[in-house]
Amino acid sequence: MLARGAHHRVSPGKTGAHRLIFHIDMDAFFASVEVMCRPKLKGKPVIVSGKPATRSVVAAASYAAREYGIRSGMSTVEAFRRCPHVIAVSGSPGQYIYVSLELLRIYKEHSTIVEPYSIDEAFVDMTGTECTWENCEDVAREIKAKIRKRFGPNLTASIGIGPNKLIAKMCGGMNKPDGITVIRPGKFGGVFNGLAVSRMWGIGAKTEIALNLMGVATIGELANFPVAMLRRRFGITGEVLHLMACGQDDTPVTPYFEGMPVKSMGHEHTLPEDTWDIMEAEKVLLRLCDQVARRMRKKQYLGNVISTRLRFADFDSISRQRKIKYYTDEERTLYKVARGLLHQYWRPGQAIRLVGVNCTGLIKVREWHQVDLFMQREEDAYRKLLSAIDAIRDKFGEHAITRARLITHDTRLWTNNRRMAEPRFLRMDLGEGSSRAGMRGRPQDGPRPSLMAGWHDASGDIDNVPLSPGLSSSPFDMLRHQDAEDRVPPEY
């Protein structure tokens, strides 16, 4: 077993030709956690979504549901059309966060260089540890065994191993679920050259079409295509596409204790019903701007590029942005610009399905910045008002205070209960050597009945554990908090 702290590396996030990178991707993560909490759902088609009667989409689908063609992002109505007996459960974000953090704790036992890529994915840089190309598959099996011991057989992971993040990521999706794929240095072309360009990480549908029109259908053809022509068509991205098709990627694994730069902050909302009423869209936009501005103040960021996103009833989407001359974190400025974009690109003949706002060009708030002396008094008064509003919402919730214009508007937009739930399944004897046996006065030996049997309500029978008030929702910040709890400081 590899002990924590024994695999410290001198230069974290190092790039080079001799790296050894793991990409660990949980299989159907949300759905698997729900099945783990409800053993009777094992083997059945399960989706995690909103209420079937609402305009919700599938957040995750079990592999049994995927056999019917159900995929993430599909509307719930379409999912039920393809599989009328599919079981829809509402999501439990607190449980997902809890399980994700416990998984990251396992990864940190093998390397200090862990980058949480999403709630169910992580890159682990094994370069310089006891893991080598000769024993990397054994280490991957050890990680999978630890996950099984901690959470039981219903939660599985697929692990891709490669000399860089690109190859490791692409390997991770090759043998799902519960697989291990290894591509050693120099072997990328032999495995991927014959595959369609859509199989390469980062190439979407529009880029695939553009490449196909140029006569490029496979990754191998892209690798051999003239770089000058790619640059002429895609700009600097064309050179990146060529390097990726050759299996080259020098992107370092960013350790959680270094964090990732925040590039944007935004919110989107799908309307309960399509609307032709621009006043209704304005209300949604105002509330979203309020939410984005509050996040920016909380994270201490200012931005100067504001964008509005609209999705129409035919699912056609547009996004337009405007750069302002100064940096801001106030909703009145965000709303003024976003509302102007809304009116400019509004299509009167088409109903709107989704409204979104985003702020980029972010910089950290400095301790001092120049202000207009004639505006300072007004600004100071308004900042005091914002500070008071933020304090009220921190204490009583997002919907505790709102603008008069929005007082009758849908309060679900404000829902943001930042609570982490310890699932009830952690009190069950799952796998071998469960450390939970004997808790709450129960005997340590002998079988215990499943507390989750017959439970089918995602909002009930969960032990809610409030997150620390000062804890960020960023996975990097959560991991740093986890280190503090474990009394294991990050090693450099």
Catalytically active residues, by annotation: 121
* Joined tokens for residue 485: 């709890």
At residue 471, φ and ψ (nearest 5 deg) are: -85, 130
Q: Spell out the long-range contacts of 208-214 with Cβ–Cβ below 8 A and sequence spacing 24 or more.
A: 210/234, 211/241
Closest CA to 200 of 188, 186, 213: 188
Cross-strand pairs, 196: 218
DSSP-assigned letters across all residues of 408-445: TS-GGGG----EEEE-GGGGS--SSS-TTTTGGG--SS
DSSP-assigned letters across all residues of 209-270: HHHHHTT--BHHHHHHS-HHHHHHHHTHHHHHHHHHHTT---PPP--TTT-----EEEEEEE
Q: What is the dihedral of CA 59, 84, 462, 40, to 10 degrees?
A: -120
Please state, in angstroms and rounded to a whole number, the distance separating the CA atoms of residues 163 and 345.
46
- Which H or E run contains 78? helix 76-82
At residue 374, φ and ψ (nearest 5 deg) are: -75, -20
> Measured between alpha carbons, how far is residue 241 from residues 26, 160, 221, 244 in Å?
27, 21, 12, 5
Please state, in angstroms and rounded to a whole number, the distance separating the CA atoms of residues 99 and 484.
18
DSSP-assigned letters across all residues of 146-196: HHHHHH-TT--EEEEEESSHHHHHHHHTTS-SS-EEE--TT-HHHHHTTSB
